[in-house]
Amino acid sequence: MTVKKFNLPDVGEGLTEAEVVSWKVKPGDTVAINDVICEIETAKSLVELPSPYAGTVAELLVAEGVTVEVGTAIIGISDNAPGESEPAPATASPAVEPAPASAAVAAPPAEPAAEQIVETLMYGKLPDDAGTSEGGPAASPLVGSGPKADAVKRRPRKRPEGAAPAAPSTAQEPVAEQPATAAPSTAQATATASPATASQAPGPTRLGVAVSGLVNRVLAKPPVRKIARELGIDLADVVATGARGEVTREDVVSYQSQRDAEVDKADKFWAASRKPQDQRVERIPVKGVRRATAKAMVESAFTAPHVSIFVDVDASRTMEFVKRLKASRDFEGIKVSPLLILSKAVIWAAARNPSVNATWVENADGNGNAEIHVKHYMNLGIAAATPRGLMVPNIKDAQDLSLKELALALNELASTARAGKTQPSQMQGGSLTITNIGALGIDTGTPIINPGEVAIVAFGTIKQKPWVLDGEVIPRWITTLGGSFDHRVVDGDLSARFMADVASILEEPALLLD
């Protein structure tokens, strides 16, 4: 038996170091080739490392949270000698055989099902919602923890007795011995005991009241509603990323982190002011994505001469178009937002003004001469704020995508970035970037150009404002676009024409059909 050591590799982006964020294995675990053994954070993103060897984990050589250089041994994996390779399947089979017959494995799905019944009554889940999950595997006890939670199979509905799970079976036996006249009072007592109906009128109208109050509510599973209620979040304010347009647990958590970011900072600041003198300053190491972003932004800001322009846009027809797309059968289950129309507008406008889709290259020929490389493709970058810092993944060859394909690509990009699973290759080779600051309620801003590009568009919030149309002041949906450009490549005339073209699409999306 020999122990092979796996050295931290370069993930293909020329990085020199990475932080071991979390281990997915422990000493004694058996791993196969390509099994994920750990997650590392590079200067670009979070990356899962697969095992290059099959065998047993002998030791973990680097602790979680430690940054090491590429080439450093991080794990030791022992391989069995030839004579010892045969018993391996035999030792694994006893662990697998008892699993189907084990009561402990079969029992967990029953408990989440009972919890969902109670949650349904407590938080007003419509009865027909339960039917949508029938037929799915009853495997995951983490109800509502992600998009796959819809697959949880629910048990038949039963009226909760407000007691332990075993209470209904024991409480029903004496009921059979009671006179027939006692049955209604027993049922009424059960209904009164339900926490969901304590504040509503008794009798048959109770369900009608509950249903009528939920007709226009946002789609979300009961556990998600419970989390939102505990956090004081209105689900209507949360952007839904579920497969059927429902709000997921991750959506609520992401919204909460964004909403309370400034409040948390203030709380920490004032809490620190009451600590001893030597603890009043919090030291946060700058590493990984945060360090790489800071370096890139400083280089961009002080290398490329920025010029910024702004334009107010009447996006009322864009809002109407988005509404029609949401109601369209072709876009069923796909998140559609004004960002989709803006993305298409940027692609269209860049085709009319190719020089905004370019790169300035210093010393391109080795003799100190610079070049402008105009790209005849569009890798559209979308700036995404994550807990680890700003990331700008891009959609490859976005110019070739239909509106539906672009919507799917935007959804995947956002969910992947939010989960911290963006790969380095997804952030390489960008052409032009959009930063959607309007999602945070900001009107506009002066963004810094992403390194390697010459233009970036800031998309402000869309809200109703008084607007003069045909000599009359009427309420319209207005947004402000802000664009920053590298003045070495994009002069004032070109930047103005580009922004005017983007604005024209938001004002009249039908131009995309030309």
Q: Which residues of 434-463 are buried (b: 16+ CB within 10 A; e: fewer)?
A: bbbbbeeebbbbebbbbbbbbbbbbbbbbe
Q: Is 487 a catalytic residue?
A: yes
Tokens of 271: 């809490």
Contact assessment for residue 2 and residue 78, using Cβ atoms and an 8 Å cutoff: yes
431: which residues sit within 8 A by CB, 6+ positions away?
350, 357, 375, 377, 378, 379, 380, 381, 394, 453
Burial 411-432, CB ≥16 within 10 A → b, else e: bebbbbbbebebbbebbeebbb
Give the three-class secondary structure for 460: coil
Contacts of 161 (CB under 8 A, 6+ apart): 167, 168, 171, 190, 193
Backbone torsions φ then ψ of 20, nearest 5 degrees: -80, 105
Token pair listed for 457:
């568009």
Going by the DSSP 8-state scheme, the letter that residue 55 receives in this structure is E
Q: Which two tokens stand for residue 140?
A: 């995951």
Burial of 122 (0-12, 13-18, 19+ CB in 10 A): middle
How far apart CA 119 and CA 136 sit, in angstroms, is: 19
Cα angle 109, 114, 120 (rounded to 5 degrees) comes to 125
Contacts of 358 (CB under 8 A, 6+ apart): 372, 373, 374, 375, 454, 489
Contact (CB, 8 A) for 481 and 444: yes
The one catalytic residue in 306, 373, 376, 487 is 487
Q: 5 φ, ψ to 5°? A: -100, 135
In the chain the first and final C-alpha atoms are separated, in Å, by 69
Q: Rounded CA gap, 360 and 336, in Å?
A: 34
Indicate the residue type of 444.
T
| DSSP-assigned letter for residue 151 | G
Q: Which tokens belong to 509?
A: 């999306």
| Residues acting as catalytic residues | 487
